């Protein structure tokens, strides 16, 4: 097994902004359902088909499932981002290129945290507020998938280009 250099990375202002926005949105994924929970009906939409129509219902406590899953994903991405030397890269990591690749990889993980929390908030809003679902239409899932795929795709191409 190759031994990779361990480097302490310095965050840029953009990195700090992405990180702070991620934490704010993460807290909002809990604040929104907890604040609205007493006002929700006992049965709420919990699943939507490809056309955006409700095809499943659950009790109102189900609004806490998304924040719970989001917490796991958010913290997993946060912890993984602390150890960029343990990640997989499409190139060999050396002393000369480690900082560049580690910085790019950790920025991608921060961007994914931001994307995941934003997507969870969007889904929560669609479940809690029917008017949001009516106005967002079918483009919301496509934008959500793009938000998750784009940072990873960018990281793969950037790593291969910057050998």
Could you read off the pLDDT of 116-161 as tens digits, one per residue?
A: 998 888 888 877 777 666 666 666 667 777 877 888 787 777 767 7
Question: What's the pLDDT at 14?
Answer: 92
Tell me which range, 16-20, 41-45, 154-158, is most confidently predicted by mean pLDDT: 16-20
Question: What's the pLDDT at 161?
Answer: 73
How far is residue 113's CA from residue 73's CA, in Å, rounded to a whole number? 8
118 vs 2, higher pLDDT: 118
**Helical ranges in the chain per DSSP H:** 13-36, 65-80, 98-128, 130-136, 139-161
Three-state secondary-structure class, residue 43: strand
What percentage of the chain reaches a pLDDT higher than 70?
A: 88
Q: Is the pLDDT of residue 29 over 90?
A: yes
Torsion angle, alpha carbons of 39, 42, 48, 51, to 10:
-70
Q: Is the pLDDT of residue 101 over 80?
A: yes
**Band of the pLDDT at 41, cuts 50, 70, 90?**
confident
Question: What's the pLDDT at 79?
Answer: 95
What percentage of the chain reaches a pLDDT higher than 90?
A: 36
**Contact between residue 40 and residue 60 where contact means Cβ atoms under 8 Å apart:** yes
Secondary structure letter of residue 60 according to DSSP: G
Question: What's the pLDDT at 1?
Answer: 61
Q: Is the pLDDT of residue 80 over 90?
A: yes
CA dist 62 to 21, 29, 121, 122, Å?
A: 25, 13, 14, 16
Please give the average per-residue pLDDT across 3-16, as a whole number. Answer: 89
């Amino acid at each position: 097994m190759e031994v990779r250099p361990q480097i302490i990375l310095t965050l840029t202002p953009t990195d700090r902004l992405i990180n702070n926005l991620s934490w704010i949105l993460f807290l909002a994924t809990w604040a929104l359902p907890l604040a609205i929970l007493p006002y929700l009906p006992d049965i709420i939409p919990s699943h939507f088909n490809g056309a955006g129509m409700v095809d499943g219902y659950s009790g109102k406590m189900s609004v806490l499932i998304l924040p719970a899953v989001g917490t796991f994903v958010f913290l997993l991405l946060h912890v993984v981002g602390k150890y960029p030397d343990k990640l997989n890269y499409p190139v060999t990591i050396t002393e000369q290129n480690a900082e560049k690749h580690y910085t790019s990889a950790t920025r991608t993980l921060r961007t994914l945290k931001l994307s995941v929390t934003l997507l969870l908030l969007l889904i929560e809003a669609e479940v809690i507020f029917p008017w949001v679902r009516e106005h967002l239409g079918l483009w919301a899932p496509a934008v959500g998938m793009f938000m998750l795929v784009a940072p990873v795709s960018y990281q793969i191409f950037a790593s291969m280009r910057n050998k």
